[in-house]
């Protein structure tokens, strides 16, 4: 749809810096959300290297640098209660064997998307693997009980994650793996001693943890080196013009905001095919932003010194008292919703 940047006004700490006039103004009365990373399309693919088309000659991003941290993605039984025999279920020993077989079958269907969005702690939100914040252990122990019903014919139903993992990509990957395993009927005959067509529910834990502190579990079904890159954030040029306050909104005294996400490409321009309006309180606000976006430019994001595309999220706040739109470059984590 259009090209993009931010605005001539950048927020630095708690003050608003006007890059053209070099004036600093107090913004305590204003509301800002700012720029958020959504995803990086060029990072940590399964290929040996990633070379952005517009990067400087010879600029190559290695997938497994020497400072990578080994991470282990693992499935394990949720609790000892899973082994307790109950009416209509196999005895504990047989049950344990069957569950182990189920895990073995499911492993072959698990595909982990790259890059993973990993939490760095309960109070610090999310961080992408490879960000500057990945100095200590990249992630704490992550555990989420995945509940589902496996039928004796191999079908899968009733997928749920309770509580949802803080890494939705992992939830989704396991869900897809279970569906594929069920569709392939590889689980048939593994669930009940009698082989009758009955449903059986099982709970597993899906987690990711640094290899050196991994739990004493059976063989992990996925192991990968997750790179720790230094990543920069797209920064708008200070010459970018601020969207004009819509005439009708100004006359009616209307305030509002617009939330968008889009990809800033490696040349520092917005990819017009990636602009998505997530929220808008007044349609005229969208129009004035679109009018300016083709002329906006960014200092593009870089990974390991190479310019790369970067999806970002930006909230534009229109305050009638200021008669102008405001925005900032503050980076905040974006937590993708869980979807099955």
Specify the CATH number of the domain 9-58+232-332: 3.30.2420.10
68: left (phi over 0), alpha (psi -120 to 50) or beta: beta
pLDDT top residue among 273 and 35: 273
**0.85 cut: is pTM over it?**
no
Instruction: Identify the CA nearest to 100 among candidates 219, 222, 223.
Output: 219
| Look-up of token digits 């969207």 | 243
Most confident option among 97-111, 132-146, 213-227: 97-111
Domain ranges of the chain: 9-58+232-332, 69-226
Angle between helices 168-183 and 92-107 (to 10 degrees): 100
Over the stretch 268-327, which tens digit does the pLDDT of each residue have?
898 888 888 888 899 999 999 999 889 988 888 776 677 877 777 788 888 876 666 665
Q: How far apart are CA 113 and CA 169, in angstroms?
A: 7
DSSP state of 189: T
Instruction: Say which residues have a Cβ less than 8 Å from residue 41's Cβ, sequence separation at least 6.
Output: 263, 308, 309, 311
Work out the angle at residue 110's Cα, subtended by the Cα atoms of residues 109 and 112, and round it to the nearest 5 degrees: 150
Q: How far apart are CA 1 and CA 293, in angstroms?
A: 10
pLDDT top residue among 126 and 302: 302
Average pLDDT score over residue span 21-31: 26
Listed range (120-124, 159-163, 182-186, 282-286) with the worst mean pLDDT: 120-124
Average pLDDT score over residue span 218-243: 59
């Amino acid at each position: 749809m259009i090209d993009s940047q931010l605005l001539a006004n950048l927020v630095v700490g708690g003050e608003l810096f006007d890059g053209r006039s070099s004036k600093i103004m107090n913004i305590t009365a204003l509301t800002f959300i700012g720029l958020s990373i959504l995803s990086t399309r060029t990072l940590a693919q399964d290929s040996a290297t990633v070379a952005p088309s517009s990067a400087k000659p010879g600029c190559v991003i290695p997938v497994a640098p020497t400072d990578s941290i080994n991470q282990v993605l693992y499935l394990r039984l949720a609790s000892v209660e899973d082994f307790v025999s109950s009416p209509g279920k196999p005895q504990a020993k047989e049950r344990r064997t069957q569950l182990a077989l189920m895990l073995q079958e499911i492993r072959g269907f698990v595909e982990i998307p790259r890059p993973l969005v990993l939490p760095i702690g309960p109070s610090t939100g999310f961080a992408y693997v490879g960000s500057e914040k990945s100095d200590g252990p990249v992630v704490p122990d992550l555990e989420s009980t995945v509940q589902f019903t496996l039928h004796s014919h191999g079908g899968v139903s009733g997928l749920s994650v309770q509580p949802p993992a803080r890494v939705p990509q992992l939830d989704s990957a396991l869900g897809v793996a279970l569906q594929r395993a069920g569709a392939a009927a590889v689980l048939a005959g593994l669930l009940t001693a009698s082989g009758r067509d009955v449903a059986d529910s099982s709970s597993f834990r899906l987690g990711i943890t640094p290899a050196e502190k991994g739990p004493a579990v059976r063989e992990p079904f996925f192991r990968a080196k997750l790179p720790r890159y230094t990543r920069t954030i797209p920064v708008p040029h200070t010459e970018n013009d601020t969207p004009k306050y819509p005439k009708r909104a100004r006359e009616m005294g209307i305030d509002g905001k617009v939330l968008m996400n889009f990809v800033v490409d490696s040349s520092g321009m917005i990819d017009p095919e990636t602009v998505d309006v997530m929220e808008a309180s007044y349609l005229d606000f969208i129009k004035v932003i679109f009018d300016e976006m083709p002329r906006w430019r960014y200092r593009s994001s870089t990974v390991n010194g190479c310019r790369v595309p970067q999806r970002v999220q930006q909230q534009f706040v229109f305050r009638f008292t200021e008669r102008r739109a405001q925005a900032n470059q503050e980076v905040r984590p974006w937590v993708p919703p869980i979807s099955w």
